[in-house]
């Protein structure tokens, strides 16, 4: 991850709503140029990914590889594979010589444990396709103050691909889930960062009710193509609307358990929120936490890009919004720091768990510098806060309103 304070300021401070003078003093050259009313120079920005078949994502970590999608690359209705974010917890395993021979074990609290190959899985159970969100549990972590531990995601740890696979529920029903089943415990083939083959890099799970939800899939295709290795191929889970760590990559085992799973990534502060609000920056109490499940409501402006110089006072913008288990009801836009708001047009999702397109046309009063704010509200009336609240040591749930800067030419 970049260590430069200038880069860090450009990714964090303006999005917390600092004033124009502070922007000019502390941001990258592009931010300073905007504050001074001049055209922005090319920003230095973070380290960019160099990988065949992938766009130049912003690299947040090298080992394990973590890279986020810049907001302007989140404009497609279905996120192309090359633009899709990368989040690994361990090392990337070797690609199998025969993908269809890949085996998945289903055991534990089931009547008929099974070892099933991917080929048999594909032919035995109905294949379904859905456009669904996948989002890192730490998405939005960069907006917390003081800084929380972990990769400093802004809004780019999210994407909406079309996933093809079989319903996990169908597989579990075939195995005969016992009444004693409470939770799944999931394992993948990704080696631990230490290289120790006896250690899983991560092993998370979900309640049986979520495992049986018809959109929870064992996936083998992404946007109509064989699931790429870097995204968990040949086979992974997709548990939509919930923290992406539940969507196990390189899936090898689903252990049906009679209690909440306790694998790596389930204890301590990992993927957990503070039950009782704590003082930002404090140590916290591991015993007073709850498991992170559904992701919070979020809107991201994908056009224009942050730092854009506009030739017209008419601003046509667009973006995407999503809300975990819920549908987005409204997205509102402000160009005067939240004094007034204008409703955007929000499209219905193509299916549950897909993100939703929003568009708006705003007439700016004059040339000059503006911040454009967007906030989403879900069908239950839950909206985005102005700042990342409910601070927690690992920085989960940060979803403040999205802000971009634009400069209208005089």
Tell me the average pLDDT across 255-263.
98
Closest CA to 151 of 11, 305, 319: 11
In a domain, 80, yes or no: no
pLDDT of residue 44: 65
**Do 216 and 278 lie in a common domain?**
yes
Tell me the average pLDDT across 289-311.
98
**Do 219 and 321 lie in a common domain?**
no
pLDDT digits (tens, 9 = 90+) for 264-289: 999 999 999 999 999 999 999 999 99
Residues 6+ apart with CB under 8 A from 398: 139, 140, 141, 142, 143, 144, 148, 388
pLDDT digits (tens, 9 = 90+) for 14-31: 444 333 333 333 333 344
DSSP string, 236-248: EEE-TTBBGGGS-
**Do 320 and 228 lie in a common domain?**
no
**Do 104 and 193 lie in a common domain?**
yes
**Do 189 and 303 lie in a common domain?**
no
In a domain, 386, yes or no: yes
pLDDT of residue 410: 86
**Do 355 and 208 lie in a common domain?**
no
If residue 33 lies in a helix (H) or strand (E), which one and from where to where?
helix 29-35
Domain-ending residue, one of 240, 266, 291: 291
Tell me the average pLDDT across 185-208.
96
Check the CA dihedral 65-63-291-174 and report its sign: positive
Q: Are 301 and 410 in contact (CB under 8 A)?
A: no
**Do 157 and 240 lie in a common domain?**
yes
Check the CA dihedral 49-54-56-58 and report its sign: negative
**Do 212 and 90 lie in a common domain?**
yes
In a domain, 81, yes or no: no
In a domain, 62, yes or no: no
Report the number of distinct structural domains present in the chain. Answer: 3
In a domain, 393, yes or no: yes
- Residue 22, judged by CB atoms within 10 A of its CB (0-12, 13-18, 19+), counts as middle
Give the integer Cα–Cα distance in Å for 14 and 267: 34
Tell me the average pLDDT across 298-316.
97
In a domain, 58, yes or no: no
CA distances from 280 to 138, 145, 273 (A): 16, 7, 13
pLDDT digits (tens, 9 = 90+) for 28-71: 334 444 544 444 454 567 899 999 999 999 999 999 999 999 99
pLDDT of residue 23: 32
pLDDT of residue 251: 98
CATH number of the domain bearing residue 284? 3.90.420.10
Give the integer Cα–Cα distance in Å for 270 and 297: 21
Q: Is the pLDDT of residue 9 over 50?
A: no
Tell me the average pLDDT across 362-387.
97
CATH number of the domain bearing residue 322? 2.60.40.650
Residues 6+ apart with CB under 8 A from 385: 399, 400, 401
Closest CA to 127 of 165, 168, 170, 171: 165
Identify whether 361 is preceded by a cis peptide bond (ω within 30 of 0): no
Give me the phi and psi of 24, to 5 degrees please.
Answer: -65, -30
Domain-ending residue, one of 246, 275, 291: 291
pLDDT digits (tens, 9 = 90+) for 126-159: 999 999 999 999 999 999 999 999 999 999 999 9
**Do 110 and 197 lie in a common domain?**
yes
Closest CA to 44 of 92, 7, 78, 9: 7
14 versus 213: the higher-pLDDT residue is 213
Domain hosting residue 310, numbered range? 298-408
**Do 93 and 190 lie in a common domain?**
yes
In a domain, 74, yes or no: no
Tell me the average pLDDT across 110-117.
98
In a domain, 53, yes or no: no
Q: Is the pLDDT of residue 111 over 50?
A: yes
Band of pLDDT at residue 11, cut at 50, 70 and 90: very low
Domain-ending residue, one of 259, 291, 323: 291
**Do 308 and 283 lie in a common domain?**
no
Percent of the chain residues topping a pLDDT of 70: 89
Query: Within 13 Å, how many C-alpha atoms sit on residue 281's CB side?
Result: 3
**Do 177 and 90 lie in a common domain?**
yes
């Amino acid at each position: 991850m970049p260590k430069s304070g200038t880069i860090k300021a450009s990714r964090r401070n303006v999005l917390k709503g600092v004033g124009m003078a502070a922007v000019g003093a502390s941001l990258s050259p592009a931010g300073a140029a905007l504050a001074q009313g001049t055209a922005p120079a090319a920003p230095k920005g973070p380290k960019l990914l160099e990988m065949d078949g992938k766009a130049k994502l912003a690299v947040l970590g090298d080992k394990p590889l973590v890279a986020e999608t810049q907001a302007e690359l989140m404009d497609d209705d279905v996120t192309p594979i090359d633009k899709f974010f990368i989040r690994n917890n361990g090392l990337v395993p070797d690609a199998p010589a025969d993908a269809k021979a890949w085996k998945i074990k289903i055991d534990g609290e089931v009547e008929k444990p099974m070892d099933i190959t991917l080929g048999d899985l594909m032919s035995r159970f109905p294949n379904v396709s859905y456009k669904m969100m996948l989002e890192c549990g730490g998405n939005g972590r960069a907006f917390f103050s003081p800084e929380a531990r972990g990769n400093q995601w802004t809004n780019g740890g999210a994407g909406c691909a079309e996933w093809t696979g079989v319903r996990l529920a169908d597989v579990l029903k075939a195995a005969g889930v016992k009444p004693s089943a409470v939770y799944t415990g999931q394992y993948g083939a990704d080696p631990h960062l230490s290289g120790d083959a006896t250690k899983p890099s991560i092993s998370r799970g979900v309640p049986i009710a979520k495992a049986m939800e018809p959109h929870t899939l064992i996936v083998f295709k992404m946007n109509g193509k064989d699931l790429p290795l870097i995204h968990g191929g040949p086979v992974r889970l997709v548990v939509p609307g919930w923290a992406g760590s539940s969507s196990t990559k390189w899936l090898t085992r689903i252990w049906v358990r009679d209690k909440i799973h306790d694998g790596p990534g389930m204890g301590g502060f990992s993927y957990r929120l503070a039950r009782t609000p704590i003082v930002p920056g404090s140590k916290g109490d591991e015993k007073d936490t709850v498991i992170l499940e559904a992701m919070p409501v979020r809107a991201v402006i994908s056009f224009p890009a942050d730092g854009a110089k506009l030739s017209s006072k008419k601003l046509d913008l667009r973006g995407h919004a999503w809300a975990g288990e819920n549908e987005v009801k409204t997205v509102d836009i402000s160009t005067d720091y939240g004094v007034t708001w204008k409703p955007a047009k929000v499209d219905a999702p193509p299916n549950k768990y897909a993100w939703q397109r929003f568009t708006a046309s705003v007439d700016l009063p004059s040339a000059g510098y503006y911040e454009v704010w967007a906030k989403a509200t879900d069908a239950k009336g839950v909206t985005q806060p102005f700042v990342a609240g409910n601070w927690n040591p690992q920085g989960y749930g940060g979803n403040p309103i999205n802000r971009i800067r634009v400069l209208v030419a005089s």
